[in-house]
Structure 1
Amino acid sequence: MTRDALKSLEWFDQWISYDVRTIERFIDNLAEPTADPNYRPRFLREVANKHLSTSLRHYSRGDHGDVSQNLWSLLQYWEQSERLGKSVWTPEQQYTRHTWAVNLDHYIDCFWLIGLALALKIPEAQWQRLLALVGNEGEDLLLDRVIATRSPDRKIGTTLCYPKPYARLLAAIDAPKTKQALLLDHFVEHWYKEIGNAAKSARQKQAIPFKTPYWHNYHRLEGGYFGYWCVEAVAAVKAFNLDDSLCVGHPHYPGDLLRPGQVTSPDLSRLLPELAVTIGAPSEKQFSGEPRHLTKWEALKMLVKNKLNA
């Protein structure tokens, strides 16, 4: 049984095997002299990114230990990339590649890696290596606060780099305990659609003129997709001990990262219509005034709302 809602087990088997071969080929290429030494840092970062996407693909398939194994290799190749990049990248390139506020893709990647590190409880030495790579201390109100739950001396930013969608997650963290579960669910529910337009809400002009994260429509590309997982929500749940009961089973919530050994099947009734149509799953019909049976999730959500409004 897979955790992902859009692709089959056979699809993930095929493309994870391809990932393994690709990473092996990348490593072989690194052992050979390069015609363009200036490209080596960028290539090393591509190898690191491949380990991240492969980790998420393993999670999507329903695997367990492979997620953490790829994370260790990712750190190694990212560190090599940074060491070589210091003598290759201009100050402007360093800024645009590393600064959260002007590089949405980098911000999301860092958030995902912090979330994975917290969920997997990586050793302190590796945590410090990750923080050195992530950088941006004091630059974002949300991600700095998440990091500070494990590194209390972390300087906290005063504003959000990307209010949309992350203001919703911040609201869940700061809400009274009785409202956190519902607000967290609202964040996960809106995450995929809103993160597609996150760059438009940025507090600074983006260095790269892309309107959406690089992975946002990967389900349309054969072999590109690795899952649409809101790892940011898991990071907040782990960091602030939030109640995630309303999110469990949502097709974008990777809650099994916090439940080792469990494989939760996705609730297709909660899949966005534009994604559901790609697998033939029925999209939610507009309300016509006729009564209908509630799904288990809808009934639970209604129960929670009633209690909050009581």
Structure 2
Amino acid sequence: MPLLEELISAYEERQRKLSISEGVINISPLAIDDWPDEFEECVQVFSLCILLNRTDLLKRFAKLVDDANYKGEDTLYEDLLRKRLPDREDVDEWYHDVYTPLIEAIYADEKAEASQLLADYCEQWYAAFSHAPWHDSHLNGDEGSYVGYWAIEAAAVAYLYDIDDSKVEHMVYPKALVDYARSHNPTLNQSKDT
């Protein structure tokens, strides 16, 4: 997990440099309200910290974004953090519509509905990010920066909210990562209560 530690340190350094260049003390390293792909990057970092059980790194990264006045502004943002960090906000709005099925999965009344919404989210995920700089990077061959397409936030939601993912077969869903998290932190309170 040293790479995850290095990633968080890189975001802290980016924030420091942006703060100097923009003259804004608590600037976010990512513009999560304006750019869906930067929001995606943010929730993926949250999700990696959660799934790899690195609450220490989650706190550090969340602080960078929280301090830029993003705390309490987006449902998915808060729902990912609330199971691990205290004093999160209860919000019923979100920045980007692409996340609607995933948010609905968290709040679904029936387990089967939550599972279907999780699958639906994964199904539409890649196409929803057609504007992202990484989209279609697999077409660039060895010269590109393709490292895979992963809806890591879907995995974190399934893990945190105990959603049955046994029928989610989409290639962007990192089921092995969810299995790892479940096997390495069986004491997590995974109730659907928020």
Indicate conservation of the 8 Å contact 1:138/1:158, yes or no: no
Which among 47, 55, 58 is matched to residue 115 of structure 1? 47
Q: 1 CA distance for matches of 2:93 and 2:31?
A: 14
Which among 211, 214, 226 is matched to residue 133 of structure 2? 214
Residue of structure 1 equivalent to 2:112: 178
Indicate conservation of the 8 Å contact 2:59/2:85, yes or no: no
Question: In structure 1, what residue type is equivalent to 2:32?
Answer: W
Residue of structure 2 equivalent to 1:160: 94
Higher Cα Rg, which structure: 1
Indicate conservation of the 8 Å contact 1:137/1:157, yes or no: no
Question: In structure 2, what residue type is equivalent to 1:168?
Answer: P
Q: 2 CA distance for matches of 1:72 and 1:245?
A: 31
**1:237-276 counterparts in 2 under 5 A?**
237-247=158-168, 249-260=169-180
| 3-state secondary structure, aligned to 1:86 | helix
- How far residue 109 of structure 1 moved from its aligned partner, in angstroms, is 0.7
- How far residue 170 of structure 1 moved from its aligned partner, in angstroms, is 1.3
- How far residue 240 of structure 1 moved from its aligned partner, in angstroms, is 0.8
Question: In structure 1, what residue type is equivalent to 2:92?
Answer: T
Q: 2 CA distance for matches of 1:121 and 1:161?
A: 26
Q: Normalising to structure 1: TM-score of the pair?
A: 0.52
Q: 1 CA distance for matches of 2:61 and 2:96?
A: 22
Which consecutive unaligned segments of at least 5 residues does structure 1 have? Answer: 1-67, 197-211, 262-310
Residue of structure 2 equivalent to 1:79: 12
- How far residue 98 of structure 1 moved from its aligned partner, in angstroms, is 3.6
Q: Normalising to structure 2: TM-score of the pair?
A: 0.80
- How far residue 119 of structure 1 moved from its aligned partner, in angstroms, is 0.6
Q: 2 CA distance for matches of 1:134 and 1:250?
A: 30
Aligned residues: 173
Indicate conservation of the 8 Å contact 1:138/1:154, yes or no: yes
Q: 1 CA distance for matches of 2:14 and 2:31?
A: 16
Question: In structure 2, what residue type is equivalent to 1:148?
Answer: R
RMSD: 2.0
**1:78-157 counterparts in 2 under 5 A?**
78-91=11-24, 94=27, 98-122=30-54, 124-135=55-66, 136-157=70-91
Quick one: percent identity of the two aligned structures? 28
The CA deviation string for residues 52-106 of structure 1, in whole angstroms up to 9 with x for no partner, is xxxxxxxxxxxxxxxx331111111221222233221245xx47x6442112232
Question: In structure 1, what residue type is equivalent to 2:7?
Answer: L
Q: Are residues 232 and 125 of structure 1, via their aligned partners in 2, closer, same or farther at CA, if it must alter by over 3 Å?
A: closer
Residue of structure 2 equivalent to 1:233: 154
